[in-house]
Structure 1
């Protein structure tokens, strides 16, 4: 007899000061993150698939591709429809594949995975994600390298479900550094018009808004650092009723953020995903926010979580 492998593969724990995180082999997902024993992301069991894509790395595109179709240099591409109910390809190609650990120290872990040439994706990419924890929180570093012989566009996102410790989601206040919202078809959640300004809009979250009664599966754009931000970072936050919470910070290339309120997250009920993205839904068709990676070139960006 052998011990069964959990659905998410091997588990890689990292500890730095009072901070601790657990990363999964399958999908390189963030399964746990806590400081002083206080949880700051929604978690799940190692032997179940990530609920609602919790903690997933979304590459070479985040969110949805309409009908799984896009065009590269006049060549039509057809991706598998991984969200058949909406007729879309969702969240990239690496959610459910094992990643290779290339470094694992006490407070850091780095995993690599290859996006091979396949139906709908004609250029190979090598991607990595590095997780590091210390007393200040969690830092996540992503790289993507073009291993092919021609340029290819891509996008990247992540799917954490931050939480303000033990506070109920409906008691928390969400604050976003976003200036626009992307109108979508309510059935397929695909863009139907260009982004519109949030000035005076009921979905304005720049000043903070309590989440009780709020339902979202919404892409917000124009996320940018405040003019006086010393580090030049995009900053979103979730604050509990007692004033503490968690900040999600990101490099300015993550100028989109998808916010999704789940009603049935296991063990929690209401939960909220705050998903930094480099491009909006259906970007492989619109071209909005895509990064074009030349042969042999690489790309790097960071985001993280900071309890307060």
Structure 2
């Protein structure tokens, strides 16, 4: 993480053009999607691609106004949630150092679960299709059930069920995440969602946070402490102010992504235990993520008070549920 100039010459992404939803009319893709609508709001789900959200936008006379960065066509052909609008994180968020940790006196080895990454990343639910359950015009339930397979290198060794209830309600996108430990032993656990936002030169991120987890070259936490980004977020931080891929602990569980030149903003609110927030704003890159999560990176190995590290242990049969809401506002 390093400071970068506010006057960076890198090309900045603008709100997506209407033709970036061309995949809605693709006969190979459209049948796999779930479209939700309420008034002028639309949410498109891609259950087959990690239970991901493909788009969240508003229908306007000028075309779709995107509140999250929409999926690319390649996201579908390559089944890549990283190029979706957002995707669920189960049973932990972000990285686990060297894909290993110890729990209850047993060494857990996740190495090999994804050879693209040196460290285990984002759990396993985003790598599998989700099943469509109950559905209305404005809501849908998506389900995922994990059964460990010892033949698969790095497979998560605990049985669990996860669900997303996704709804357009009250002028907002509302996602309730839940998980149940269906194993016969305790299971370490964390969850979250990974939204990408349109990033322009005028974008600002507002959030009340207490401290930042500083990170090493592998984007793994070293210590919790002050940073100028903490004050910048409270005042309205430009994604170009710092190069960030960091966790922020003990935020107020509310953040606003604003586009003041476009006279609009999107406010994200979250329930406990989403007590941690990740900001991913790389330099020379159009991506911007502000993620609600229950745990800091590498929480199963991290040392520190629970309120700083996050995550939890689900006992056999125990269930955890919490809601995140994104509310658009124009004018």
Query: Common fold, TM-score beyond 0.5?
Result: yes
Aligned pairs for 1:146-157 within 5 A: 146-157=181-192
Q: Among 235, 250, 274, which residue is 1:207 paired with?
A: 235
In the superposition, relative to structure 1, how do residues 9 and 216 fare at CA in structure 2: closer, same or farther (>3 Å)?
A: farther
Query: 1:81 Cα shift?
Result: 4.3
For each residue in 1:110-134, what CA deviation from the matched residue of structure 2 results, as whole angstroms up to 9, or x when unmatched?
A: 1100122244532200000011003
Distance 1:220 1:101 in 2: 33
In the superposition, relative to structure 1, how do residues 262 and 131 fare at CA in structure 2: closer, same or farther (>3 Å)?
A: farther
Aligned pairs for 1:283-302 within 5 A: 283-286=299-302, 288-302=309-323
Distance 1:184 1:83 in 2: 22
Q: Among 176, 190, 208, which residue is 2:207 paired with?
A: 176
Runs of 4+ aligned residues of structure 1 deviating over 6 Å after TM superposition are: none
Count matched residues. 284
For each residue in 1:236-272, what CA deviation from the matched residue of structure 2 results, as whole angstroms up to 9, or x when unmatched?
A: 01111234211111113111111112568xxxx6231
Q: Among 249, 256, 261, which residue is 2:281 paired with?
A: 261
Aligned pairs for 1:54-93 within 5 A: 54-81=85-112, 84=115, 87-93=118-124
Unaligned runs of 5+ in 2: 1-25, 304-308
SS in 2 for 1:34: strand
Query: 1:138 Cα shift?
Result: 0.3
SS in 2 for 1:141: strand
Q: Among 160, 168, 189, which residue is 2:219 paired with?
A: 189
- Aligned alpha-carbon RMSD (Å): 2.3
Q: Among 24, 27, 31, which residue is 2:50 paired with?
A: 27
Aligned partner of 1:162 in structure 2 is 197
In the superposition, relative to structure 1, how do residues 260 and 52 fare at CA in structure 2: closer, same or farther (>3 Å)?
A: farther
Distance 1:159 1:209 in 2: 19
